Structure 1
Amino acid sequence: MTTPDTYRRATRGAALSMPSLRRIAVITVHTSPLAQPGTGDAGGMNVYVLQTAKELAARGVEVEIFTRATSSADPASVTAAEGVVVRNIVAGPFEGLGKTDLPSQMCPFTAAVLREEANHAPGYYDLVHSHYWLSGQVGWLARDRWSVPLVHTAHTLAAVKNASLADGDTPEPLARRAGEQQVADEADRLVVNTADERTALQHYYGADPAKIDVVAPGADLAVYHPASKHAARAALGFGANETVVTFVGRIQPLKAPDVLVRAVAEILRREPGLSLRLVIVGGHSGTAEQSYSLVRLAHQAGIADRVTFLPPQPSAQLADVYRASDLVAVPSYSESFGLVAVEAQACGTPVIAADVGGLGVAVNDGVTGTLVNGHAPGLWAQTISELIHDHDRRARYAAAAPDHASNFSWSHTADGLLRSYDRALSRTALSPVLAGADRLRSRVTDLALRRQRNNRTVERAAAQR
């Protein structure tokens, strides 16, 4: 791998050995990797950023993660693991800003990121990796200022979400769509979760396929693995003979937990004596609680006593929820990958998932779970009911699930990211960065002129005294 210093020398025609990647800046503006997934805007992206940072640090690459502080109690920096530092940037009020309000805070956030780099010698960061379009806007400016490549992961795309909106959901704004287009055009590499997402980037944003890398996310297989179902049920207070169907995720229309409430209600209308429990694990996202109440829906459907609501769970406790479940359902309208599906399968639990986005990769249809083509509650009721009563098929799915999930470890993800970083740093992929070398030389010249002006000012002041 190569560093920006190598490129500056390369532009002078020097033939040098290539040093290793040393340090990267990771930008994740709207949600901290330290936040509990399932609360507010925290979700799979938080898990992705933190887990990949740990994997990269374990391989000797220092990772500094820049995120927006959301509390006055947030320290300026937190060591999340050896070699991983999270920097909490103060940009706007700590509370009361939703994701759609954050574009107004990009200037102070970006300024703080650039100032952090300015505390070090040029070339302190070898590469910028931004997550989500807001972060891509910051990363784009940092790339130009620091003369290093920008790698960007969108995680979700406005055009894809708007093409598959849930009833009553709000379309993503034009500003986001335009911002994503800018970042797709400017980034040196684009990392996507699946081949389908690569196709979406090309179709909706005209992205150059030559700069897109497919890198699947993973699961922490040291945490998510098969263990005693009986012990997990006892710990959670579930009945030994209950059939448990579980949803894990943010409570919002996009994730479609309401489809499951309606589906379970339909199953119980047909089979009122069935010992069936729906478990919903997660918190409300944004202002969804007022307009999207699953508690109210469960009461209206007459199944409030059959639905258990749990708050977002730390990973060790979440693993027990998966193990205690007979099925995990992922009915999302849009999903770039679906970490929940992989985590559940890693614990030996079959998955029923909507056949959208990356879920077709995360779930091996007919082997570790079932993909559902649509979101009609009746269709989901039929699919869930069939699996509930087909014990042999469910057992086959459960047996095959951990082996399938083993293909999606964070170690594999880190391997893919390092290959993408290497391409970003390669000379053939870095025409924008080579041009950036001139910008860096201009910056050094500007700093020198500024020092000269400051020295003259000091000299004049001394002469006047």
Structure 2
Amino acid sequence: MPHEPQRIAMLSVHTSPLDQPGTGDAGGMNVYIAELARALARRGAEVEIFTRATSSALPESVHLDEHDDRVLVHHVPAGPFEGLDKNDLPAQLCAVTAGVLRVGAARPAGWFDVLHSHYWLSGQVGWLAAERWDVPLVHTMHTMARVKNAALAPGDSPEPATRVIGEEQVVAAADALVASTAEEGQDLVGMYDADPERVHVVAPGVDLGVFRPRADRAALRRELGLPVDRDVVLFAGRVQPLKAPDVLVRAMGVLRASGRPVPLLVVLGGPSGRATALTELQALAATSGVADDVRFHPPVARAELARWFAAADLVAVPSRSESFGLVAVEAQAAGTPVVASAVGGLRSVVQDGVSGRQVRGHDPAVWADALATALADPASRTTWRAGARRVAEQYGWDATAEQVLKVYALAAERRARVAV
């Protein structure tokens, strides 16, 4: 097998690994890219991440971590710095590609060993850059238009045909495709006609040191301003139809209307897509009669997020589509059971009856019953807490990096074979 790549270019066009997850377009993918880059660096690789500049105040290049020079982030100017929606970015891909190639041109020939693109917009740029640099293209989809369109929330807009076509092109061009779960790999083959030999399943990881159980949850709750004597259900993520926090708010309304105990629902996240998404969710809480039962809090840094997870009785992940479900793994690493939709990667990372519960569909009444049943059974939740940590311990970023390096080597081998 060819040697492990030592210089890796990563593309994250529409969102930066430096952005705060939980608002705008920043989410699990940002965490994935940053943590994978760090884990690759720990194995001796040099990683350069290219992302579109969203402010004139950003430096051209900056280290991902202040005291570690092994991961460099390049801010590529392309189009207006501000005001561009993700759906506007296809028109800027030529500009992004030019910026990426300009940085590459300043390097000696053959500098990069592999190019790893994330999300279809990056894949379009990577397709051209990999050809110019004569390196293998490895691509991770993170989400897929056809999968999302099959599970749209009521009133949500479908992903455009432009994206579907772009994804098909990237799948065909990539030397290797990294899927987070076997189900995602099957979707690539079944929905996008991917070559099965190019699809490699590599589970993302979790920082088991940061996300860990806490001994004194009562003290932790007091520090976070949470009630000690009331059940707490936590939602962490972007406030958008795909993540379905509205299902949880409506479920709280069902509990209130039926006279059952209502936990405190904490929504830890910011608006994504529509600027009014958060105010709309707050209005829904009011009209559902649970304005005082839902607390909204802006996104927090990773170490702080781990404390919120550990403080909650349950973490709810009601997503309509989820390629992996990093929030669920991180919550379980903190020793907190997860109640999750039985969709996508969540079917793999949340073990029903072991680390939490899987819920079929998005009927608020069904979710209300699932949450109420779990909260009314402290004995099961104690068992689930131990199970949650055990499940999370199966995932680690160093193991992810080791497997991804093998994919890089296989992609290089395939490219060399085809070139002969």
Aligned counterpart for 1:340 among listed residues 317, 321, 327: 327
Aligned counterpart for 1:51 among listed residues 30, 35, 39: 35
Q: Which residue of 1 aligns with 2:221?
A: 233
Aligned residues: 416
| Displacement of 1:400 | 1.2
Q: What letter corresponds to residue 269 of structure 1 in structure 2?
A: A
Q: Is the 8 A contact 1:251 1:288 kept in 2?
A: no
Q: What letter corresponds to residue 41 of structure 1 in structure 2?
A: D
Does structure 1 residue 358 correspond to structure 2 residue 345? yes
Q: What letter corresponds to residue 103 of structure 1 in structure 2?
A: P
- Mapped partners of 1:206, 1:20: distance in 2: 28
Q: Which residue of 2 aligns with 1:29?
A: 13
Residue deviations 1:61-108, cap 9 Å, x none? 100000001111111001113200000001011111011000111111
| Displacement of 1:275 | 5.5
SS at match of 1:92: coil
Q: Which residue of 2 aligns with 1:244?
A: 232
| Displacement of 1:292 | 6.9
SS at match of 2:339: strand
Identity of aligned residues (%): 53
| Displacement of 1:430 | 3.7
Q: Which residue of 2 aligns with 1:215?
A: 202
SS at match of 1:293: helix
Aligned counterpart for 1:256 among listed residues 244, 247, 253: 244
Q: Which residue of 2 aligns with 1:91?
A: 78
- Mapped partners of 1:219, 1:92: distance in 2: 35
| Displacement of 1:311 | 0.2
| Displacement of 1:332 | 0.4
Q: Which residue of 1 aligns with 2:257?
A: 269
| Displacement of 1:319 | 0.8
User: Is there any run of 5+ residues in structure 1 with no aligned partner, and where?
Assistant: 3-18, 436-465
- Mapped partners of 1:85, 1:423: distance in 2: 25
SS at match of 1:329: strand
| Displacement of 1:231 | 2.2
Q: CA RMSD in A?
A: 1.3
Scaled by the length of structure 2, the TM-score of the pair is 0.97
SS at match of 1:352: strand
- Mapped partners of 1:354, 1:396: distance in 2: 20
Residue deviations 1:416-464, cap 9 Å, x none? 11111111122x45445x27xxxxxxxxxxxxxxxxxxxxxxxxxxxxx
- Mapped partners of 2:311, 2:8: distance in 1: 39
Aligned counterpart for 1:303 among listed residues 256, 272, 290: 290
- Mapped partners of 1:328, 1:20: distance in 2: 38
Q: What letter corresponds to residue 42 of structure 2 in structure 1?
A: A
Q: Which residue of 2 aligns with 1:282?
A: 269
- Mapped partners of 2:226, 2:206: distance in 1: 25
| Displacement of 1:413 | 1.1
Residue deviations 1:400-420, cap 9 Å, x none? 111110111111211111111
Q: What letter corresponds to residue 309 of structure 1 in structure 2?
A: F
Q: Is the 8 A contact 1:255 1:333 kept in 2?
A: yes
Spell out the pairing of 1:48-87 with structure 2 (5 A cutoff).
48-81=32-65, 82=68, 83-87=70-74
Q: Which residue of 1 aligns with 2:371?
A: 384
| Displacement of 1:169 | 0.6
Q: What letter corresponds to residue 216 of structure 1 in structure 2?
A: A
| Displacement of 1:271 | 2.8
| Displacement of 1:281 | 0.4
| Displacement of 1:348 | 0.6
Does structure 1 residue 425 correspond to structure 2 residue 415? no
Deviation beyond 3 Å, 4+ runs, structure 1: 428-432
Q: Is the 8 A contact 2:77 2:96 kept in 1?
A: yes
- Mapped partners of 1:26, 1:251: distance in 2: 27
Q: Is the 8 A contact 2:24 2:273 kept in 1?
A: yes
User: Is there any run of 5+ residues in structure 2 with no aligned partner, and where?
Assistant: none
Q: Is the 8 A contact 1:77 1:88 kept in 2?
A: yes
Spell out the pairing of 1:295-334 with structure 2 (5 A cutoff).
295-334=282-321
- Mapped partners of 1:127, 1:288: distance in 2: 37
Q: Is the 8 A contact 1:188 1:430 kept in 2?
A: no
- Mapped partners of 2:416, 2:150: distance in 1: 33
| Displacement of 1:206 | 0.4
